[in-house]
Amino acid sequence: MRRVLLLLFFAWAFSSPIRITVGDPFFLTFREEVKLPAVFEVLGKEKTPAGIKYRVTVFRPGNYMIKSQEGVLYVEVVSVLKDGEELRDIAGPLEVSGEPGWLLLRLGMLLGVGLLLVGGVLLYRRVSLRRRDPWRRLLGEALSLRRELPPLDLDDFYSRLGHILRVYLQRRTGLPALAMTSGELAGRVSPEIHSVLMRADLVRFAGRAASDPGADLSLVLNLIQEAVREAGKA
The single-letter code of the amino acid at 57 is T
Q: Mean per-residue pLDDT for 88-97?
A: 40
In terms of average pLDDT, the best of 11-15, 24-28, 197-201 is: 197-201
Flag whether pLDDT at 100 surpasses 50.
no
What is the chain's Cα-based Rg?
Answer: 36
Pairing of strands 90-91, 26-30: parallel
In the chain, % of residues over pLDDT 90: 29
pLDDT in tens, 44-89: 888 888 888 888 888 888 888 776 555 677 788 887 655 554 444 4
pLDDT grade, residue 35 (50/70/90)? confident
Report the b/e string of 142-168 with b at 16+ CB within 10 A. beebeeeeeeeebeebbebbbebbbbb
